[in-house]
Amino acid sequence: MRSTFQWTRNAGPFDSTTTTRTSARALRPTPSTGSILLPEFRDVHPHMADRLAVLRAAPVLDMGCGPTRLGTLLDAHGVPWVGLDASINRLRLGHGPRLLGDASRLPFPDGTFGAVTALYMLYHFEDPLIPIREAFRVLRPGGLFAACAPSRFDEPEIAGFMPPQPLDTFDSDIAPELIGTVFELAGIDIWDMSLFRFTEREALRTHLIARGTRPHVADDIATRVGFPLWLTKRGATVWGRKPEP
């Protein structure tokens, strides 16, 4: 299969437009998960850690840090960081400097950080602009904000089988507009690629439940679709910059 990642369509500090082709090393089917990517390529965290290290954006605040996957990768780069999460149970899965807290009321003084990340977490807020504004407050002038989320058009192959549900308060389709009301937009990293291949019902059912689908709905979908089934993953990381005075 010939596919491409549209990882970067950037403006501002990243003023080039590039399309990065996945390497053969990255593509390898994993029957238990359906993903065609090796584990280190399956999420945004390695890309995020690399980018922050190259830009020397530090210290980093990782809002919604959970088990500190980003922090572990930043450690490998020697980038100082602190994590914050509202779930004590998820914090216990991690390591390093982290604290229990609410991203809508960050317990840090103004201008503390060189970068703030919000990876797969802003859709948990009724008004995601509140934590976005808090990120702006605790950033130094010139500091970077990065938030990622799936697209509302993620996994279109099964959209017709899903029951109607309200849109999330934050997704990659509205992220540039929301972040742009607070920050100067600094770049958009887009992904749009067939990344999961399922050959049997149980693997698809497990995948759907892991992404938050109710078990009885997952059972129904896994019974009705045809196999093999490819799922297209769509989403983006949107970057903002706090203006210099």
Task: Give 41's pLDDT tier (boundaries 50, 70, 90).
Answer: low
Structural domain containing residue 86 = 5-10+35-241
Would residue 27 count as lying in a domain?
no
pLDDT surpassing 60 at residue 182: yes
Which residues, 6 or more positions from 85, have their beta carbon under 8 angstroms from its beta carbon?
A: 64, 65, 66, 91, 98, 100, 101
Task: Give 32's pLDDT tier (boundaries 50, 70, 90).
Answer: low
Number of domains making up the chain: 1
Which residues, 6 or more positions from 211, have their beta carbon under 8 angstroms from its beta carbon?
A: none
Would residue 26 count as lying in a domain?
no
Would residue 229 count as lying in a domain?
yes
Question: What is the chain's mean pLDDT, rounded?
Answer: 87
Query: CATH number, domain at 68?
Result: 3.40.50.150
Would residue 22 count as lying in a domain?
no
Phi, psi of 9 (to 5 degrees): -130, 95
Segments of the chain assigned E as strands: 5-9, 17-20, 60-63, 81-85, 98-100, 113-119, 139-150, 184-198, 229-241
Would residue 79 count as lying in a domain?
yes
Residue 185 to residue 202: CA distance in whole angstroms: 42
Nearest one of 139, 130, 124 to 105, comparing CA atoms: 130
Which residues, 6 or more positions from 188, have their beta carbon under 8 angstroms from its beta carbon?
A: 8, 9, 10, 11, 176, 236, 237, 238, 239
Range 129-134 average pLDDT? 98
Range 67-71 average pLDDT? 97
Would residue 221 count as lying in a domain?
yes
Residue 5 or 215, more confident: 215
pLDDT surpassing 80 at residue 11: no
Would residue 118 count as lying in a domain?
yes
Would residue 45 count as lying in a domain?
yes
Residue type, 233: K
Q: What pLDDT is stored for residue 20 in this prediction?
A: 32
- DSSP code of 186? E
Question: pLDDT tens digit string along 224-236?
Answer: 999 999 999 999 9
